[in-house]
Chain A
Amino acid sequence: MAVTLTPTAAKHVAAHLVKRGKGVGLRLGVRTTGCSGLAYKLEYADEARPEDVTFVSHGVTVVVDPKSLPYIDGTELDFAREGLNEGFRFRNPNVKDECGCGESFNI
């Protein structure tokens, strides 16, 4: 299993990293915020920490901390446009239910 990006997502992440001018890749993770469920982390990675698990998908490095990995293993990160709006979306096979907007979820 692994964490991957769709080709579109990879293209956008790579472009953003170039514009940002630094960073080794993308960090995906989850935050356990108590009884309100889990929340995704989607950040630039300036470095991979020793404990991180690293994947490369379509040329983009994705780092995941080992505590988050079980929650998002198998996830594919996609990029989508909805009208003028745009952004990333987690396709996470571990999710059982999520709040209507997809920002927090349960497994």
Chain B
Amino acid sequence: MALLQISEPGESPAPHQRRRAIGIDLGTTNSLVATVRHGLAVVLPDEEGRPLVPSIVRYAEDAVEAGYTAMEHQARDPQNTIVSVKRLMGRGLADLADARRFPYRFVDAPGMVRIATRAGVKSPVEISADLLRALRARAEASLGGPVDGAVVTVPAYFDDGQRQATKDAAQLAGLPVLRLLNEPTAAAIAYGLDNASEGVYAVYDLGGGTFDISILRLSKGVFEVLATNGDSALGGDDFDHRVFCWVIEAAKLPPLSPADARQLLVKAREAKENLSEHDEATIAATLAGGAVINLTLTKAIFTEITANLVAKTLQPVKRALRDAQLAPGDVKGVVLVGGATRMPQIRRAVAEYFGQPPLTNLNPDEVVALGAAVQANKLVGNRERNDDWLLLDVIPLSLGLETMGGLTEKIIPRNSTIPVARAQEFTTYKDGQTAMAIHVVQGERERVADCRSLGRFELRGIPPMVAGAARIRVTFEVDADGLLEVAAREQTTGIAATIAVKPSYGLSDDEVARMLQDSFAHAADDMQARALAEAQVEADQLAEATRSALAADGDLLDAEERAEVDVALARLATARAGHDHAALRAEVAALSRATDEFAARRMNRSVARALTGKRVDALSD
């Protein structure tokens, strides 16, 4: 049984119509997958509640591992454990100035470098695809079904080759890519800046190992990247390192073993993170040689020892603004991305430089994925609210048409803003039906008899088909003046018919109010009436189908079987004359059961007829 989500007012999807859309932040160090749930963008965590997926893929003996599982083996199996594959996307060996920094067995190949692993030679696209598969699996487990559309983010500076490689990886992972989205744009969307006033926005992204600044211009709801700049060797890790050096100096430590150095770096990082919340942090550790460290790092010292790192980020910011030919004062808003932007000294420096506090209320690690999810949700067709639309005028009473059983099918619900257009497909009720009467009605009641009739017209010339095969699209369109035009069009032949009416004509406000009141007062009766009418339609349809089947293939039944069907038909007719919808449904079910075997025999006969006299080899096409 499906689990339902809360929608925005007026936007509950039709059953089975909610489409699963995800946003993926495919990062150098970590990746995330997010979706819009209950109207809000959220990151999807794993079973242990961890939001991140380390961007690490390991080719193990008999399996492909991704994320934390792969990370555990990174030190032990470096040649088959690929980290930071994003740096290799769309790159040839010649492009990689720092190829020797990677522990991999590179294989040069035309177009893009490849890596020899125990699972064979892998391209960065294939490795990324293995990571994306893990994200896709998490999304499908969290959303309860296959993904209908994904938006994947890429750095604003990615060239066409790198973008194409990212897209190929997503497709290889079986993800329907709606589009790629620039990371800074995604962050701006997460903050809803696409609905904000037009102007220039800056996105300051300080990750673990890289720094990016993007200057965006929003115009008519679309972001354009004016300039990007950054430093591919500057990030939160450098702040950890400064704290690490301070500890060595303050504790007057001799050169450390690799294990001690690793331990101290972890402590340094913890201290850094603590200082975002507290004024001081304790660094306590016992080294392999027995030396005990117990130091207190204050916010003031931390700010002082990292001041030149903070200043270093402002250089690319200045260059980006210069490239865009703008001054800091031209920027209307600043978005912070990346965990390192939690540090108060960063926030202060950014606020000072731009002369305004940056946007910080979303999690800076998640903001790119959240924005991608919002975009995916919109692109996949789950409607979004349009708060900014002016409520010009609304339709006071629902507009619809009559369906079988004298029921109304509402096409445009009341309170819809005009202009509005809605379409729905209908089909024929009887075999060989060549015309369809369209009865346009207005009101909230379930039975046509209780609603107001606006007009009727007929669609003629439907080609004879079996019941249910014709596709007739009926469009209701109300223009800005409140004029309703209803059109019906048979989809295969294109034959069409229309009618135009003014629904408000001759209808006073009092009458509208009365019609609404009636519908509330009769809600319970209407519910019964609808249930009965629906059961009646179903009963008539089944009785009709059974009779025509008996006429055509009655010889397939022996006398006893025939009698059984006849009894069920008679009982159905009796229930049809009454007013008990539950009893009528029970008889429909009984007749359906009584004719199951008959239907199967008819199917066999028609298959046999279709095959008689045909050569086996003629059937293959």
In the complex, the answer to whether A103 meets B516 with C-beta atoms within 8 Å is no
Chain A residues with Cβ under 8 A from B526's Cβ?
A: 67
Q: A44-B6, A80-B3 are in contact. Are A16 and B15 (CB under 8 A)?
A: no
A68 to chain B, nearest CB (A): 8
Measured in the bound complex, the distance between the Cα atoms of B143 and A35 in whole Å is 28
Measured in the bound complex, the distance between the Cα atoms of B6 and A13 in whole Å is 9
In the complex, the answer to whether A26 meets B527 with C-beta atoms within 8 Å is no
Q: Can you list, as one digit per residue, whether each of A1-25 has a CB less than 8 Å from chain B (1) or not (0)?
A: 0000000000001001001100000
Chain B residues with Cβ under 8 A from A34's Cβ?
A: 403, 407, 409
Q: Can you list, as one digit per residue, whether each of A60-100 has a CB less than 8 Å from chain B (1) or not (0)?
A: 00000011111100000000101111111110000010011
Q: Which of A27, A34, A104 counts the most chain B CB atoms within 10 A?
A: A34
Chain B residues with Cβ under 8 A from A104's Cβ?
A: 15-16
Measured in the bound complex, the distance between the Cα atoms of B1 and A45 in whole Å is 25
Measured in the bound complex, the distance between the Cα atoms of B10 and A85 in whole Å is 24
**Given B3, B446, B582, which contacts A88 in the complex, CB threshold below 8 Å?**
B3
Residue of B nearest to A41 (CB): B12
In the complex, the answer to whether A103 meets B9 with C-beta atoms within 8 Å is no
Measured in the bound complex, the distance between the Cα atoms of B538 and A31 in whole Å is 20
In the complex, the answer to whether B4 meets A85 with C-beta atoms within 8 Å is no
In the complex, the answer to whether A66 meets B1 with C-beta atoms within 8 Å is no
Residue of A nearest to B10 (CB): A43
Q: Is A40 in the interface zone, CB < 8 Å from B?
A: yes
Q: Is A42 in the interface zone, CB < 8 Å from B?
A: yes
In the complex, the answer to whether B9 meets A67 with C-beta atoms within 8 Å is no
**Given B14, B39, B519, which contacts A67 in the complex, CB threshold below 8 Å?**
B519
Measured in the bound complex, the distance between the Cα atoms of B13 and A42 in whole Å is 9
B619 to chain A, nearest CB (A): 35
Q: A99-B15, A103-B15 are in contact. Are A16 and B4 (CB under 8 A)?
A: no
Measured in the bound complex, the distance between the Cα atoms of B527 and A88 in whole Å is 24
**Given A66, A80, A99, A106, which contacts B520 in the complex, CB threshold below 8 Å?**
A66
Q: Is B504 in the interface zone, CB < 8 Å from A?
A: no
Q: A85-B143, A87-B3, A101-B1 are in contact. Are A16 and B40 (CB under 8 A)?
A: yes
In the complex, the answer to whether A83 meets B141 with C-beta atoms within 8 Å is yes
**Given A88, A89, A107, which contacts B6 in the complex, CB threshold below 8 Å?**
A88
Chain B residues with Cβ under 8 A from A26's Cβ?
A: 6
Measured in the bound complex, the distance between the Cα atoms of B299 and A25 in whole Å is 43
In the complex, the answer to whether B12 meets A31 with C-beta atoms within 8 Å is yes
Q: What 6 pairs across the A-B complex have the smallest Cβ distances?
A: A87-B3, A103-B15, A102-B1, A104-B15, A84-B142, A66-B520
Can you offer 21 A-B residue contacts whose CB atoms are under 8 A? A19-B40, A20-B40, A27-B9, A31-B12, A32-B530, A33-B14, A35-B537, A39-B12, A43-B10, A43-B11, A43-B12, A44-B9, A51-B520, A67-B520, A82-B144, A83-B141, A85-B143, A96-B585, A99-B15, A101-B15, A103-B15
Since A42-B4, A66-B523 are in contact, a sample of 10 more A-B pairs with Cβ atoms closer than 8 Å, ordered by chain A residue number, is: A26-B6, A34-B403, A39-B15, A42-B12, A44-B39, A70-B524, A84-B44, A84-B45, A87-B4, A89-B4
